[in-house]
Amino acid sequence: MNSEELNRALVTIIEKKAELHKLTYDDARYDDVEEELHDLEDDFNDEYGAFLEAALEKVHDALSSDTDVLLPTAYLPANTSGKPGPKEGVWIDSEKYSGKEARLTLVPGPVRLLLTVGKSVQEEVWKA
């Protein structure tokens, strides 16, 4: 697996999501951009899904999480900064952080999974 290609694909999807987010539903380009995004996500999940889902399962296990592992594209942030906000990514239930809002986010540059707990904790829990 080529981590540079994985990173490029991830950045492309995040940028397309940002482009779609800027459009209103009545924008003539909305449906086309939305379709492009879905195609990118499908291709990404086909190409990297098994690899990333295995990594996500390991992270979920390490965090003692009973939360289901979702498709990798569900874990994406709103931008490519590599520093997701406390509400980005997928909420997970973790015994390690019981009673706190914990989220996993798949970020680029390099491709890695970040665990965010509230506004105070952000740690890398996996790296491609």
Domain ranges of the chain: 3-127
Q: What is the pTM of this model?
A: 0.92
By the 8 A CB rule, do 102 and 92 touch?
yes
Rounded (5°) CA angle 25-104-64: 140
| Local confidence band at 18 (pLDDT 50, 70, 90 cut-offs) | very high
Element (H, E) at 56: helix 30-62
98-110 pLDDT per residue, tens: 888 899 999 999 9
Q: What is the distance between the alpha carbons of residues 66 and 91, in angstroms, rounded to a whole number?
A: 11
Q: What is the CA 12 to chain-centroid distance, rounded? A: 13
39-66 pLDDT per residue, tens: 999 999 999 999 999 999 999 999 999 8
* pLDDT (0 to 100) of residue 100: 87
* pLDDT (0 to 100) of residue 1: 80
* pLDDT (0 to 100) of residue 71: 96
Q: What is the distance between the alpha carbons of residues 34 and 29, in angstroms, rounded to a whole number?
A: 8
